[in-house]
Amino acid sequence: MTILSANKVSVRYPGQARPALAGVSLAIGPDDLTVALGPSGCGKTTLLNLFAGFVQPDSGTISFAGQPVTGPGAERAVVFQHDALLPWLNVRDNVAFGLRLQGVAKAERLARADEVLRLVDLPEAGGRYSWQLSGGQRQRVGIARALASHSQVLLMDEPFGALDAFTREQMQELLLKVWQQARRRIFLITHDIEEALFLATELVLMSPGPGRIVETLRPGFSQRYRDGESARAIKSDPAFIALREQLLTTLFDHRRQAEEIAA
Amino acid sequence: MNALENTLEQKLAAVAASKPVPDEIVPDPAVLRSGWWAQYRRGWLSLLSLITVLGGWWGLSHSGIVPPLFLPSPEAVLAKLVTVSTQGFMDATLWQHLAASLQRIVLALAAAVLLGIPLGVLMGVSPVARGLLDPLIEAYRPVPPLAYLPLIVIWFGIGELSKVLLIFLAVLAPVIIATSHGVAQVSRNRLRAAQTLGASRSQLLWFVILPEALPEILTGIRIGLGTGWSTLVAAELVAATRGLGFMVQSAAQFLVTDVVILGIVVIAVIAFALELGLRLLQRRLAPWHGQQD
């Protein structure tokens, strides 16, 4: 069953010549980790903001469980790239924040926070503050917070874009583990081709001018990771590298076309 | 350089062992270079400049170049502190003068905070409120309080109300401006994150906007208190019988220079203590302020 979908949505920001998104349709299926990949300006952030309810489409519809999305809601939690934890709360209270807003009793919500912190491999960090954590730890807290409040879909806005290469790899593996254990639909946007190929069950390739989906594929590498193969082995597999180069070529082709149209 | 290589090696080792990299806490090299001088260098320098000024004062007043009428010696002022504290000056002891001034400041501050924070929040979240209120605040804020003091006296008389009102107006503007600035600067991602966790509008205000604006609000109160103290003397020009500003003014009229200096020093010490207290409060309530996040 499709729970979150975009149906022929278009968005044009005021003062922009081209639409940020033109006639995009996408459905996030059950047990899917959908990744939207594309260069800046391809509309992937706009698509995520539409799903989250931060932006409304000019035409077309966004629906969640059959109902149109009109604004942000607790069933669609967002993990941001940075700046989204509350620095005046410690890690536990940050993770329990959504439950506090919903009026869950203190003991219950803190117990839930500890449980989710164990899931993201941060069992000891509950009493610390976001400004005492490293970038990778902060993103884990962000993921834990999104999981704690019983959201049904995780929308991830370039969650590992600001991390160094080592930490990014660790976080990708952690995300696959969390996704498997928490059984949550995930929609993630990134401009990192390797990341998209490694994580996605469904990969949506997007291109700018106007922002649109140019290709959809199911790479299947995350399944191999779940079956026990190591991340490095997968990423250095010739099949992985060939697909990476193919995607890169497709993206460059589309970019050239867009530039020719613009000129 | 060595430390940098170390952390890189640690990282590589940690990656090889596929363990999370431990948090790197790099101590400030100035703290590592321990020793009584290096550790508290700024404090020592501050002490040095204070001692220099006091020493200069003592030397000048004892040299006989400047008559005591113009510059009484530090000991004379200290002696005056004792007599004014016990016997009083102009029918009130130093503590009664101080209490009268503090009462005015505290009343004005409380009123300015109670009115200024809601108005500032309103201006920060609503462009309409900002459009309406901004010109009013910007119009009166740069005018020196002494300029509108006569008008306040015509409207509200020479009682306690006028004095408190004058200080209140001086404190109000910085509190409103800092609050609206702090509120307008709240991170969009934090607001959005709270919204996707189910926050209502009032929850956004109480759980995100106000805590995030708190350091700015406290800065506004600090600046407001500063201007409040400088307005105090002006406020106590108006038919006051008590207060530090009144004490200094009347002492000046009778050329009791040591009481003038005593009053100035007391005002400086109190204002400095309040400033330090607020800074401490700011550090306690908003330890994240100035930290990268």
CATH of the domain at B81: 1.10.3720.10
* Residue A34 banded pLDDT, cuts 50, 70, 90: very high
Closest in B18, B24, B288 to A88, CB measured? B288
Distance from CA of B175 to the nearest CA of A (A): 21
Residues B271 and B165 in one domain: yes
pLDDT digits (tens, 9 = 90+) for B189-199: 999 999 999 99
The domain made up of A1-70+153-168+181-263 is a member of CATH 3.40.50.300: yes
pLDDT of residue B32: 54
- Asked whether B206 and B214 are in contact (CB, 8 A), the reply is no
pLDDT digits (tens, 9 = 90+) for A115-155: 999 999 999 889 999 989 999 999 999 999 999 988 899 99
- Asked whether A47 and A6 are in contact (CB, 8 A), the reply is yes
Yes or no, beta carbons of B287 and A86 under 8 Å apart: no
**Would B263 be classed as within a structural domain?**
yes
Residues B121 and B244 in one domain: yes
Yes or no, beta carbons of A98 and B11 under 8 Å apart: no
Q: What is the mean pLDDT of residues B258-276?
A: 91
- Asked whether B85 and B95 are in contact (CB, 8 A), the reply is yes
Name the domain count of chain B. 2
pLDDT digits (tens, 9 = 90+) for B142-156: 888 888 889 999 999
Domain range for B19 is 2-39
Yes or no, beta carbons of A149 and B195 under 8 Å apart: no
**Would B65 be classed as within a structural domain?**
no
Residues B84 and B188 in one domain: yes
- Asked whether A153 and A2 are in contact (CB, 8 A), the reply is no
Domain boundaries, chain A: 1-70+153-168+181-263, 76-151
Distance from CA of B290 to the nearest CA of A (A): 10
Closest in B189, B211, B293 to A80, CB measured? B189
Residues B154 and B248 in one domain: yes
**pLDDT over 90 for what percent of chain A?**
77
Residues B116 and B259 in one domain: yes
**Would B293 be classed as within a structural domain?**
no
Yes or no, beta carbons of A121 and B287 under 8 Å apart: no
pLDDT of residue A209: 79
Query: How is residue B241 written in tokens?
Result: 């019988």
Mean pLDDT for all residues in chain A: 91
**pLDDT over 70 for what percent of chain A?**
100
pLDDT value at A30 more than 90: no
Taking CA atoms, A43 is separated from A17, A22, A74, A97, A164, in Å, by 14, 9, 24, 30, 25
Quote the strand ranges of A102-165, DSSP E. 153-157
Residues B143 and B30 in one domain: no
Is some CB atom of chain B closer than 8 A to the CB atom of A65? no
Q: Nearest Cα to B196, choosing from A126, A114, A97? A: A97
* Residue B29 banded pLDDT, cuts 50, 70, 90: low
Which stretch of DSSP H or E encloses residue A76?
A: strand A76-79
Chain B contacts of A78, Cβ < 8 Å? 192-193, 196
Yes or no, beta carbons of B208 and A52 under 8 Å apart: no
**Would B67 be classed as within a structural domain?**
no
CA–CA separation, A31 and A247 (whole Å):
24
